[in-house]
Amino acid sequence: MSDNSKILLALLAGAAAGLVAGILLAPEKGSETREKIKDTLKKTVDEVLEKIEKGLDNAAHDNK
């Protein structure tokens, strides 16, 4: 794994942790909080997977 990949992964993990912490500290019912965490996590995972796919596509084109 390259240094840039490690930095990107750390940045994304930090952002996700910050989002979850913010949601957990919000004064809402537990069920609403869990729903927000689930939605936020799904959105974040989808975005990360999309970026990984684009990165792999770019790497494949660069190697040709």
pLDDT band at 64 (very low <50, low <70, confident <90, very high): low
Q: How many residues are given for the chain?
A: 64
Summarised one tens digit per residue, pLDDT across range 21-32 is: 887 787 878 888
Nearest to 19 by CA among 5, 6, 38: 38
Name 15's Cβ contacts closer than 8 Å, sequence gap at least 6: 44
> Which pTM does this prediction carry?
0.53
- C-alpha–C-alpha distance, residues 32 and 40, integer Å: 12
Q: How much is the CA Rg of the chain, to the nearest whole Å? A: 16
